[in-house]
Amino acid sequence: MNRSLLRRHRRRAGFTLPDVLLGVAASAMILMGSFRMLIDSYQIETSTRESVTACNAARQVIENMRTIKDARFDLGTYTDARVFGAVPQLSSLKNASASMIVSTSVGKSKKVSVTVSWTSAVNAKAKTWKLVTLIGPGGVSL
């Protein structure tokens, strides 16, 4: 009788093949979901970093203009906004460029619209960031 109990115990010990396959399939699905979340978070982080860099580049262009004391900016479009000073942030973006439109505004102030364009590293699509501000007739008075 002890032998029959021992045989039954041996048959029930461990996992069956369907149990193992089900466990492997469930683990694989969880891992695939985790990897997908990692990939998505990397793409979001990269896209956010590019947008922040573009915003900082646009701000740099405006600050370059504001620091020119007693400047008289001609109205019109500037296809390369680096004519007013260095914009080191552009080197961090793929195929980046900064353009600017200077137009009239209230009084003697000028309306300045800066557009930074680049190619996204995430999906290779063209992206733009636009920043608009007013600059007084004397720039920044020192």
Lowest-confidence range among 10-14, 106-110, 124-128?
A: 10-14
Name the band, by pLDDT with cuts 50, 70 and 90, for residue 108.
Answer: confident
List, for residues 54-88, the tens digit of each pLDDT value.
999 999 998 888 887 666 678 899 999 888 889 99
List Cα–Cα distances, 141 to 6, 66, 71, 135, 137, in angstroms: 96, 9, 10, 12, 10
One-character DSSP codes across 23-53: HHHHHHHHHHHHHHHHHHHHHHHHHHHHHHH
Instruction: Decide if pLDDT at 1 tops 70.
Output: no
N-to-C CA span, the chain: 104
Q: Check if the beta carbon of residue 131 is closer than 8 Å to that of residue 62.
A: yes
Cα–Cα distance measured from residue 84 to residue 69, given in angstroms and rounded to the nearest whole number? 12
Q: Check if the beta carbon of residue 134 is closer than 8 Å to that of residue 107.
A: no
Based on its alpha-carbon atoms, the radius of gyration of the chain, rounded to whole angstroms, reads 31
